[in-house]
Structure formats: structure tokens, C-alpha cells
């Protein structure tokens, strides 16, 4: 290892796990440490950290739970442990304490690139530490080596009718990977609880590694784009994903995918896809079964599918208004959508109360790479109009755009204009966050999830004589 790389390894190895607050040491050795080796070092300290937190704070209450929260989709209810990221309503997401601009500045990049590599983000989500460029590259290689799909999974995909939504195909293929789950096999062989995290880690690495081949195969099958090329072990994850989709020669598109995967990877634990994965994993279903369930949640139009819906909504707008779109016409179209009892896709959020920093990151990418694109300009124009309409309508708690308002426009610009494929790319990204938490859940011995439910009659009885 070169002196500069060693210095950087030493510096990185001193960073604490951000939110877990584990103060700790560990100096990198001369050999490039693997992610699994680093994790094995971190787990015992984190188990002690959780024990200490529970001993000191275990009996304390976050606050009241109201009946409205039970009816209202549990908004704001503190109920889940999630270490990879925390969402602030005003500021947006932080991955292990780092904002998106922090990640753009601090995570290793591809040679000549300026966007952070998803490999490095996964290392950060799992360990709270920024990996060295060598560690990042080692992950690219490891994922490339694990990328091949079992033949029967390829056949499942090849037999799907092109009319079957890409997200359904995606979920089927991921679920079928459970055939070779290291965790499921180890469980059948009587693995001890304390060792669960090892095969969960192996399955999670396989899961992430195989997603580009699944996504690429679906894309090529559904949209008739020809034969799937092979994974190139000398390329990073996003470059391979871009190649499998047929855009590998476009370096700007590859950069977009790097940014895309990073910003879509994780959004704390309560969102539908993350929570579903954690919930299903809590039954000790393996990572393929757990993440297959996540994908089914991500495929809903109020969640990940909103990126598809945004493009459909924009196309309808253009079809109705024509190409010369005035502010007044946009305002009328937004009002018509609301009056038709529909949502404005890409706007609003269950937690955020400001513009999503993931929207801002994509807007900045567009300003750099496609400032004159008409669809990008339209999205910017809507940003100036839709929030006021939503505020005037008076229902949405957050009138600002979320991540989905922008992603499709960028993909469309580069020629990936099949919008019913967009949520597949969101799903590839979300695997990073869900997998990281599944590994920690098994390492920390997270229990089966089983909250209490009530019927309306039971609620009436409980509060019958209470003011």
C-alpha cells in the first residue's frame, strides 16, 4: 500500500460509527481490510453500545402515542431502530451523519469522476466509516465476481411477458434468489444466533451484486434492446449497470447512475420499502425474501413508483397544453389534477417539510450536464408553481418536491425514456440501505417485529370513560 493510501486508511479507520456513537480505535493494517473483516471488528463494540443504551434509557418514554397516530399511518411514531441514515424534516437525509454534499465531497470516486461511488456509500452505511479508494475498488471487484445469476432466474425473467410490469419481474427474480441463500441454508443446518450476521452478509453482498444483471435483463427483455453483455470485473458497479442497460459508453450517464444509486439508497427506516424489508427480515426470512418484499412496497405509486408517475403526468401535461407551456397553463393543470382527486406526483412527503435535498442534488447535476434541456426547464418551472397551488389547496403538509420529481427527467435526457422501468433503478439503489440494516439487525439479535393493533371498537372501549 502506498504511503498516502495508508495515511488515508489510518484516518478513515479512526472515524466513529456516527449515530451509534461508538468510540473506538482500530488502525488499518498494511493489507487492504475487507468490509466483512472490518464489520467483524465493529460488531462486538456495537453490541456493548446497544446494551449500555438500553440499560441507561430502556425504561424511558419518547412521548405519547395518540389514537390519531394509530389511524394516521403511524406518522412520527418512534418505533424502529435504523442505523444507516436519519431523516430530518427540514434538512433531509444524512447517511451515518453525512449529508449528500458531504458524501459528494468525501466518498471515493471513479478515476476522472466527480460523483461518489455507491460501493463507498455501502461501506459507509455499514460501518459509519469512509473507505479508502482501495477498499472501494475491492468492493467493485467483489460485486462483479458475485454478479452472475442462476440460470433458472434468467429463465424466469425470459419467460415473463413484456406486459408484466418491470417491478413485478424484479421482485420475482429477487425472491427466487432465495434458492441459494446462505442464511436459509445455515439456518436449516442449525447455525447459532450469534453467527446469523455472517451468512446474512454473504446473501446481502450477493443480492446487491446480482441486481445489475436482473435490471439489465428486464430492461432488454421488455424493451427489446438485444442481448445482455457480460459484467466487466475492471469496472465499478454503476459503470457495469450502465453497460447492461446499453448506456455504458456515455460517461455522464454513468456518473448520473453513481449519484442516483447513492441518493436513493436509504431514507431511514420508516419508509415503506425499508420498513417492509426490516419487518420481513425480523421473521428470519433471508435477505432475498426480505428485499423482494421491499420491492413490492417500492412499486406503489405513493412510494417509489412516483418517479414513473411524474413522467406520465408531465407527458399528459404536454399533450394537453402543447409545447409552449405558460405558468398560467401549468397552474390550471395542477389545479385540475387536484380537483380530479389525484395527487401531484413527486410533491409532498410523509416526513420532509422542505425541498428534498435529493431533488436539489439532481437539479444541480442537471444544471451542470443538461442546463438547456426543455424537460428539465419544465420541471424547474413547475417547481415555481406547484408548491403555491398545494399551499392554497391547503391539504398537503409539505408542498415541496421530493426525489421522484426529478429523477425521470435526467434518465429521459440520456435516452432511458421507458418510465415504467424507473422504479427498478430505485429498487437497485434501495437494496443498499435495506441490506445494510438487515446485516446489523442480525448482528444485534433484533427480535421478531410484532406491534399491537386495535379494532375501532376496542379503541372506543379503552377511552370510553377517559377525558
Catalytic residue among 165, 264, 275, 349: 349
Q: In the set 35, 157, 314, 350, which binds ligand OAA (CB under 6 A)?
A: 350
Q: Which residues pair with 466 in a beta bridge?
A: none
Please say which residue, 210 or 264, places its beta carbon nearer to ligand OAA: 264
Q: Which of these, 124, 141, 187, 219, lies nearest to 411 by C-alpha position? A: 219
What is the Cα–Cα distance from 310 to 332, expressed in whole angstroms? 17
What is the Cα–Cα distance from 348 to 189, expressed in whole angstroms? 47
Q: Hey, which residues between 131 and 170 contact ligand ACO (CB under 6 A)? A: none
Specify the DSSP element, H or E, that contains 45: helix 35-57
The site string for ligand ACO over 376-405 (x = CB under 6 A, - otherwise) reads -------------------xxxx---xxx-
Specify the DSSP element, H or E, that contains 153: helix 151-159
Please say which residue, 136 or 271, places its beta carbon nearer to ligand OAA: 271
302 forms part of the interface with ligand ACO (CB under 6 A): yes
Q: In the set 284, 338, 351, 385, which binds ligand OAA (CB under 6 A)?
A: 351
The grid cell for 256 is 448520473
What is the Cα–Cα distance from 116 to 313, expressed in whole angstroms? 31
92 forms part of the interface with ligand ACO (CB under 6 A): no
294 forms part of the interface with ligand ACO (CB under 6 A): no
Going by C-beta distance under 8 Å and a sequence separation of 6 or more, which residues neighbour residue 77? 65, 69
What is the Cα–Cα distance from 181 to 173, expressed in whole angstroms? 13
Going by C-beta distance under 8 Å and a sequence separation of 6 or more, which residues neighbour residue 431? 207, 208, 211, 291, 294
Contacts of residues 2-10 at CB distance under 8 Å and 24 or more positions apart, as own/partner, are: 5/132, 5/133, 5/134, 6/30, 8/132, 8/133, 9/33, 9/132, 9/134, 9/135
Q: In the set 235, 278, 349, 363, which binds ligand ACO (CB under 6 A)?
A: 349
404 in catalytic set: yes
What is the Cα–Cα distance from 175 to 182, expressed in whole angstroms? 14
What is the Cα–Cα distance from 143 to 238, expressed in whole angstroms? 11
Q: In the set 38, 98, 217, 267, which binds ligand OAA (CB under 6 A)?
A: 267
What is the Cα–Cα distance from 94 to 88, expressed in whole angstroms? 8
Question: Which entry of ligand OAA, ligand ACO, none binds 398, CB below 5 to 8 A by partner kind?
Answer: ligand ACO
Minimum Å gap between C-beta 266 and ligand OAA is: 8
Catalytic residue among 303, 356, 406, 441: 303
271 forms part of the interface with ligand OAA (CB under 6 A): yes
Catalytic residue among 206, 286, 404, 441: 404
Sole window of 15-23, 85-93, 296-304, 406-414 interacting with ligand ACO (rule: CB under 6 A): 296-304
349 in catalytic set: yes
Specify the DSSP element, H or E, that contains 85: strand 85-88
Minimum Å gap between C-beta 424 and ligand ACO is: 14
Number of residue whose CB is nearest ligand OAA: 271
CB of 11 closer than 8 Å to CB of 78: no
296 forms part of the interface with ligand OAA (CB under 6 A): no
**3-state SS assignment for residue 23:** coil
Q: How far apart are the first and last CA of the chain?
A: 69
The stretches of 284-373 forming alpha helices (DSSP H) are: 287-298, 306-321, 327-339, 357-369
Minimum Å gap between C-beta 99 and ligand ACO is: 18
Minimum Å gap between C-beta 350 and ligand OAA is: 5
Please say which residue, 86 or 244, places its beta carbon nearer to ligand ACO: 86
Please say which residue, 84 or 348, places its beta carbon nearer to ligand ACO: 348
406 forms part of the interface with ligand ACO (CB under 6 A): no
Q: How many residues bind ligand OAA (CB under 6 A)?
A: 6
Its sign, for the CA torsion 224, 227, 229, 230, is positive
Please say which residue, 280 or 403, places its beta carbon nearer to ligand OAA: 403
68 in catalytic set: no
Would you name the residues annotated as active-site residues? 303, 349, 404
Task: Name the residues that contact ligand OAA, by CB under 6 A.
Answer: 267, 271, 350-351, 402-403
Task: Name the residues that contact ligand ACO, by CB under 6 A.
Answer: 302-304, 306, 338, 343-350, 395-398, 402-404
Amino acid at each position: 500500500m502506498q504511503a498516502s493510501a495508508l495515511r488515508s486508511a489510518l484516518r478513515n479507520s479512526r472515524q466513529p460509527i456516527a449515530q451509534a456513537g461508538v468510540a473506538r480505535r482500530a488502525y488499518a493494517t498494511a493489507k487492504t481490510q475487507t468490509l466483512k473483516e472490518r464489520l467483524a471488528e465493529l460488531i462486538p463494540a456495537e453490541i456493548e453500545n446497544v446494551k449500555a443504551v438500553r440499560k441507561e434509557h430502556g425504561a424511558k418514554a419518547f412521548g405519547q402515542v395518540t389514537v390519531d397516530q394509530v389511524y394516521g399511518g403511524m406518522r412520527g411514531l418512534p418505533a424502529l431502530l435504523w442505523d444507516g441514515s436519519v431523516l430530518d424534516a427540514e434538512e433531509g437525509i444524512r447517511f451515518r451523519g453525512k449529508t449528500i454534499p458531504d458524501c459528494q465531497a468525501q466518498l471515493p470516486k471513479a478515476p476522472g469522476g466527480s460523483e461518489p461511488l455507491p460501493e463507498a456509500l455501502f461501506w459507509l452505511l455499514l460501518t459509519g466509516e469512509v473507505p479508502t479508494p482501495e477498499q472501494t475498488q475491492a468492493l467493485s471487484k467483489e460485486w462483479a465476481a458475485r454478479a452472475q445469476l442462476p440460470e433458472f432466474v434468467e429463465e424466469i425473467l425470459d419467460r415473463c411477458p413484456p406486459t408484466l410490469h418491470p417491478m413485478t419481474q424484479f421482485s420475482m427474480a429477487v425472491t427466487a434468489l432465495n434458492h441459494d441463500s446462505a442464511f436459509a441454508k445455515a439456518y436449516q443446518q442449525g447455525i447459532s444466533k450469534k453467527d446469523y450476521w455472517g451468512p446474512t452478509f454473504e446473501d446481502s453482498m450477493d443480492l446487491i451484486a446480482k441486481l445489475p444483471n436482473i435490471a439489465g435483463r428486464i430492461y432488454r427483455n421488455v424493451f427489446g434492446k438485444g442481448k445482455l453483455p457480460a459484467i466487466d470485473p475492471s469496472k465499478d458497479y454503476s459503470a457495469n449497470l450502465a453497460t447492461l442497460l446499453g448506456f455504458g459508453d456515455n460517461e455522464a450517464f454513468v456518473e448520473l447512475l453513481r449519484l442516483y444509486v447513492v441518493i436513493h439508497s436509504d431514507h431511514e427506516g420508516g419508509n415503506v420499502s425499508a420498513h417492509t424489508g426490516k419487518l420481513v427480515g425480523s421473521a428470519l426470512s433471508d435477505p432475498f425474501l426480505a428485499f423482494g418484499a421491499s420491492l413490492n412496497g417500492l412499486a406503489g405509486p405513493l412510494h417509489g413508483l412516483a418517479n414513473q408517475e411524474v413522467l406520465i403526468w408531465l407527458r399528459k401535461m404536454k399533450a394537453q397544453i402543447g409545447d409552449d407551456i405558460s405558468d398560467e397553463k401549468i397552474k390550471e393543470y395542477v389545479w385540475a389534477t387536484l380537483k380530479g382527486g389525484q395527487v401531484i406526483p413527486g410533491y409532498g412527503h410523509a416526513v420532509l417539510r422542505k425541498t428534498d435535498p435529493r431533488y436539489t442534488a439532481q437539479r444541480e447535476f442537471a444544471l451542470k450536464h443538461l442546463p438547456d434541456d426543455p424537460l428539465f426547464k419544465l420541471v424547474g418551472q413547475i417547481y415555481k408553481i406547484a408548491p403555491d397551488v398545494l399551499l392554497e389547496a391547503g391539504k398537503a403538509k409539505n408542498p415541496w418536491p421530493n426525489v421522484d420529481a426529478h429523477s425521470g427527467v435526467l434518465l429521459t435526457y440520456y435516452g432511458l425514456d421507458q418510465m415504467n422501468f424507473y422504479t427498478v433503478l430505485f429498487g437497485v439503489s434501495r437494496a443498499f440501505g435495506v441490506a445494510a440494516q438487515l446485516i446489523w439487525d442480525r448482528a444485534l439479535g433484533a427480535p421478531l417485529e410484532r406491534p399491537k393493533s386495535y379494532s375501532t371498537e376496542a379503541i372506543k372501549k379503552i377511552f370510553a370513560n377517559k377525558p
